[in-house]
Amino acid sequence: MDHLGFLFAANVFVWGGILLYIFTLKKRQQALRKDLELLKASLNKDSES
């Protein structure tokens, strides 16, 4: 009657989903910060030359 497999599956989806979303947010932010730093460096280089 307990259907523990269903409870386990629901937990996997909820916590897995939340962690996956947090992970993608972190990855996106890291990639954008990298782009921003590169852009700033290239702008500084342009202004110096």
Partner 1 sequence: MNEETSAPEESGHVLFWLTCAGLATALWAIFLFVPTEKTEGAVQRIMYFHIPSAWLAFFAFFIVFVSSILFLWKKDREWDIYAQSSAEIGVVFCSLVLITGPIWAKPIWGAWWVWDARLTSTLILWLIYVAYLMLRGHVESGSARARYAAVVGIAGFLDIPLIHFSVLWWRTFHPKPKIISAEGLGTGMDTTMLVTLLLSLGAFTLLYFLLLGQRIEIEKTKDEIDHLKKERLYSH
Binding residues for partner 1, rule: CB under 8 A, are 1-4, 6-7, 9-11, 13-14, 17-18, 21-22, 25-26, 28-29, 32-33, 35-36, 39-40, 42-43, 46-47
Compute the least distance from the CB of residue 46 to partner 1, in Å.
7
Question: Using a CB cutoff of 8 Å and minimum separation of 24, what contacts does 21-29 make?
Answer: none
Compute the least distance from the CB of residue 8 to partner 1, in Å.
10
Distance CA 1, CA 37 (A): 57
Distance CA 17, CA 3 (A): 21
